[in-house]
């Protein structure tokens, strides 16, 4: 049996919490994995919308913010924003409990301001994203908790024990 990498162990629970459809996950996962890598833990995955695009997916990892967009007709996925958390400036967000969402605004390193509406399935997920954003942008070290703690493979435990 193969061991799942950190990305997969945290991405799947995050998509389940966001209640994303399997078809949406299949379309976006390759682009998201390419941006985050296999070792980056995913904190939050959610649907979002912006002025430029109606169907987008936002992924917040321990070190990156990634937004992918989907073309309306052919449903081709492209990268909209892929940046390190430390290179973002003027990050603001406003939780709106009545609408179960968060209005998020970030300025990328090139000076372009991105404003997105992050749609979440319920208030619990909205507050979880709010907490992840606080951890990422308002703590000194900017450490974001993963959606699920990845399991250490048995072989790695044995190696660590003898090291």
* pLDDT value of residue 64: 92
Q: Domain ranges for the chain, please list them.
A: 6-162
* pLDDT value of residue 75: 83
* pLDDT value of residue 154: 45
Instruction: Calculate mean pLDDT across residues 67-77.
Output: 88
* pLDDT value of residue 66: 95
* pLDDT value of residue 68: 93
The hierarchical CATH code for the domain 6-162 is 2.30.29.30
Q: Assign 157 a pLDDT band (cuts: 50, 70, 90).
A: very low
Q: Which helix (H) or strand (E) holds 70?
A: strand 64-70
Adjacency order of strands within the sheet including 56-61: 77-84, 64-70, 56-61, 42-49, 113-119, 101-107, 89-96
pLDDT score of 10 more than 80: yes
Instruction: Calculate mean pLDDT across residues 8-22.
Output: 90
pLDDT score of 161 more than 60: no
* pLDDT value of residue 145: 66
* CA–CA dist 125, 140 (Å, integer): 24
């Amino acid at each position: 049996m193969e061991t799942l990498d950190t990305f997969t162990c945290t991405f799947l629970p995050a998509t389940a919490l966001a209640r994303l459809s399997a078809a949406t996950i299949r379309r976006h996962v390759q682009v998201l994995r390419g941006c985050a890598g296999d070792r980056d833990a995913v904190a939050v995955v959610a649907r979002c919308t912006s002025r430029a695009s109606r169907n987008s997916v936002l992924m917040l990892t321990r070190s990156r913010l990634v937004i992918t967009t989907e073309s309306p007709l052919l449903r081709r996925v492209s990268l909209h924003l892929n940046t390190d958390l430390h290179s973002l400036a003027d990050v603001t967000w406003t939780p709106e409990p009545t609408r179960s969402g968060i209005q998020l605004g970030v300025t990328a390193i090139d000076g372009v301001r991105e404003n997105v509406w992050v749609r979440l399935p319920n208030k619990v997920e909205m507050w979880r994203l709010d907490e992840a954003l606080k951890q990422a942008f308002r703590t000194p070290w900017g450490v974001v908790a993963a959606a699920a703690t990845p399991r250490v493979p048995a072989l790695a435990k044995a190696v660590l024990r003898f090291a």
